Amino acid sequence: MTTYKRNDGRKLDETRPIKMKVGVLKHADGSALVSIGKTVALAAVYGPRELNPRHMQESDRAILQCNYTMAPFSTKERVRPGPSRRSTEISKVTREALEPALFLKDFPKTTIDLYIVILQANAGTRTAGINAASLALADAGIQMRDLVTSIAAGKIEGHYVIDLNGEEEELTDCDLPIAYMPREKKFTLIQMDGKITKEDMKNVIKLAVKGCETLYEHQRKALLEKWSKEGFE
Partner 1 sequence: METEKIEMDESIRKELEEDVMEEIKAIQEKENNGFDESDEPAFEKQESPHAAPSHVHEQMHLAHERMEEKREESVRRGKNVVLPGDRIVESMEYLPGRNCYRDGNSIYSKRLGVVYYRGHVIDVVPLSGKYMPEADDMVIGKVSEVQYSGWTIDVNSPYRAFLPLSGVRGFIEPSRTDISKIYGVGDLIYARISEVTPLKDIRISMKDPSTRKFENGRIIRISPVKVPRVIGKQGSMINLIKDKTGCRISVGQNGVIWIQGEKEQLAARAIQEIEEKSQIQGLTDHIGKLLNQETPSAGVRI
Partner 2 sequence: MNIQTSYIISHLSKGMRLDGRKPDEHRKIEIEIGPIEQAEGSARVKLGGTEVIAGVKLEVKEPFSDTPNEGVLMVNTELSPVASPEFELGPPRETAIELARIVDRGIRESHCINTEKLCIKVGEKVWMVMVDIQPLSHEGNLIDASGIAAIAALMTAKMVKYDEAGDKVIYEKTDESVPLDDIPVPVTFGIIDGKLIVDPTLEEEESMDGRLTITTNEAGDVCAMQKGGACSLTFELIEQAAEMSIKKGKEIRELIRQSL
Q: Is 141 in the site for partner 1 (CB under 8 A)?
A: yes
49 is a contact residue toward partner 2 (CB under 8 A) = yes
- Among partner 1, partner 2, none, the one that 76 touches (CB under a kind-dependent 5 to 8 A) is partner 2
Could you tell me where the DSSP H helices lie in the chain?
85-98, 125-139, 166-171, 198-227
Contact stretch for partner 1 (CB under 8 A) within 48-56, 74-82, 120-128, 165-173: 48-56
42 binds, among partner 1, partner 2, none (CB under 5 to 8 A by kind): partner 2
20 forms part of the interface with partner 1 (CB under 8 A): no
Percentage helix, strand, coil for the chain under 3-state DSSP, each rounded to 5: 35, 30, 35
Is 25 one of the binding residues for partner 1 (CB under 8 A)? no
Binds 17: which of partner 1, partner 2, none (CB < 5-8 Å by kind): none
- CB of 107 vs partner 1, minimal distance in Å: 6
Q: Does residue 171 touch partner 2 according to CB under 8 A?
A: no
DSSP string, 165-218: -HHHHHH-SEEEEEEEETTTTEEEEE--EE---HHHHHHHHHHHHHHHHHHHHH
Give least dist CB 9 to partner 2, A: 19
* 110: number of Cβ within 10 Å: 18
C-alpha span between 124 and 56 (Å, rounded): 32
Tell me how far apart the alpha carbons of residues 102 and 137 are, in angstroms, rounded to a whole number: 9
Question: Considering the complex, what minimum distance in angstroms separates the CB of residue 141 from partner 2?
Answer: 15
- Identify residues 121-140 at the interface with partner 1 (CB under 8 A): 138-140
**Options 26, 55, 85, 195; binder of partner 2; rule CB under 8 A:** 26
Interaction site with partner 1 (CB under 8 A): 29-30, 47-50, 59-60, 101, 103, 106-110, 138-147, 181-184, 217, 220-221, 223-224, 227-233
